[in-house]
Structure 1
Amino acid sequence: MKKVLIPVTNHATLGSTEQANGTYAPELTHVVHELNSNGIAFDIVSIQGGKAPLYGTDIEGDEVNMQVLSDTSFQTQINNTLVAAQVSVDDYDAIFYPGGFGLLTDLANNEEVAAMAAKHYEADGIIAAVCHGPAALLPITLSNGEPLLASKRVTAFTREEEIDFGTINDIPFLLEESLTRKAAQYSKVQPWGEFVVEDGRVITGQNPTSAHAVGKALVKLLS
């Protein structure tokens, strides 16, 4: 059975503000829904382990989000995330980073999880991320000393979307700018449109709207 490692943030606020944050639920649940629908297993991990903060759990009209969040086995996993350093990345066929602003504070600069991801990628593993999730790709350095992003085309949450969402002044850094400086190419479509970039074994999606398509692309690559 194929298996996906899902690292999530432990950081429960937006940057250094008091605004409740963490992982944006729909970006996790829509991909989990695709994994479940295709018989693909997954483990949820975080740097510290334990209960992972989620927001966006009360979005009206998002049936997939509500369905996954109400699943008892999913609740057990999100409330008891494994410590990333204690799992063997060799046991997984892909790594998926859901978004949410929280990871801009931890996974975006965590060398330990980045080293796991580099090892995974160099062993023919797949890396997928959506919205702010691609921030976790920033610290990934391959064994030749090159950043993973140096040769990759990616997308992620845009400056315009930060402005629309009212977060441009509170984020620890602007993800679009960081990716534009580090990746081979950063591209985007109009705010809130579905957009996925696939470059070899790296899949990235622009925003929450793109989460479902990232899940489908990940499943397709895994099969």
Structure 2
Amino acid sequence: MKNVLIVVTNHATLGETDQANGTYSPEITHVISVLNEASINYDIASIEGGKAPLYGTDVEGDDVNLRILNSESFSNRINSTLPVSQVDIEKYAAIFYPGGFGLLSDLADNAEFARLAASLYEKGGVLAAVCHGPAGLLPITLSNGESLLASKQVTGFTREEEIDFGTIDHIPYLLEEKLARSARQYSKMQPWSEHVIEDGRVITGQNPASAHGVGKALVKQLKQ
């Protein structure tokens, strides 16, 4: 059985502001919907464990988001996430980082999850992320001392999308710039259009519209 570890933020605000934040709900629920359809099990973990903050739970017209949010299975997991100290990475074939601004403030420089992700990747596992989720890939260093991203083409939330979303002045840093400086190549499409990149066993999506595609790409690799 190939299990997926979903890694979420404990940071509940947008940067240093008091605006409620955390993980952007549709980016986790749409991927979970795809995992459920493929009968792939998942666990949710965070640095501290416990209840993880979500926002975007009231997006209009998103039936998938509402269905997953209202499921007992998801509620139990998101309200009692595994702390990183209790994660047995040997149980998982993939790690998925959903987006949300909170992750920029904790997972983007967390050494413990970075070590787990490097271990999983070097044993043939898959790493996937969407929107701001690729920030979770930034601290991953492989056993040869090289950054995971140094040889990878990736995408992630763009400067234009930050401007459109009204967050450009409140984020801790611009993810596009961090990825462009860290990865072999950073790629983006028109704002808010679906864009998913698979570079070997690293899968990234640009924005919320890319979450379903990231989920499909992840399932495809796990089924191979």
TM-score norm. by structure 2 comes to 0.99
Deviations 1:96-151 (A, max 9, x none): 00000000000000011101000110010000000000000000000011000000
Contact 1:158 1:176 in 2 (8 A): yes
**Where does residue 135 of structure 1 map in the other structure?**
135
| Contact residue 28 and residue 98 of structure 1 kept, 8 A | yes
Q: SS where residue 93 of structure 1 aligns?
A: strand
2 CA distance for matches of 1:154 and 1:85? 28
Instruction: Kindly provide the amino acid, as one letter, of the partner of residue 203 in structure 1.
Output: I
CA contact (8 A) 1:154 1:186 kept: yes
Report the residue type matching 1:179 in the other structure: L
Counterpart of 1:41?
A: 41
Amino acid at match of 2:91: D
SS at match of 2:213: helix
Is 1:217 aligned with 2:217?
Answer: yes
Structure 1: stretches of 5+ with no match in the other structure: none
Match of 1:87 in 2: 87
Supply the AA of the counterpart residue of 1:113: F
The aligned runs of 1:8-87 (5 Å cut-off) are: 8-87=8-87
Distance of 1:5 and 1:89 partners within structure 2: 8
- For residues 183 and 118 of structure 2, what CA distance do their matches in structure 1 show? 15
Question: 8 Å contact 1:137–1:149 — kept in the other structure?
Answer: yes
Correspondence 1:195-206 to 2 at 5 A? 195-206=195-206
Residue 168 (structure 1) shift = 0.4
Shift of 1:186: 0.2
Q: Distance in 2 between matches of 1:217 and 1:84?
A: 25
Count of residues in correspondence between the two structures: 223
* Correspondence for 2:150: 150
Q: Shift of the alpha carbon at 1:214?
A: 0.4
Equivalent position amino acid for 1:124 in 2:
G
Contact 1:7 1:84 in 2 (8 A): no
- Deviation (angstroms), 1:28: 0.1
- Structural RMSD (CA): 0.4
**Separation in structure 1 between the aligned mates of residue 168 and residue 46 of structure 2, nearest angstrom:** 26
> Taking every aligned residue pair, what percent have the same amino acid on both sides?
70
Shift of 1:84: 1.5
- 1:74-99 C-alpha deviation (Å, 9 max, x unpaired): 10100000111211111101000000
Alignment partner, residue 163 of structure 2: 163
Query: What CA deviation, in whole Å up to 9, does each residue of 1:141-183 have, x standing for no partner?
Result: 0001100000000000000000000000100010000000010
Q: Structure 1 runs of 4+ off > 2 angstroms?
A: none
Name the CA distance, whole Å, in 2 between partners of 1:124 and 1:150: 18
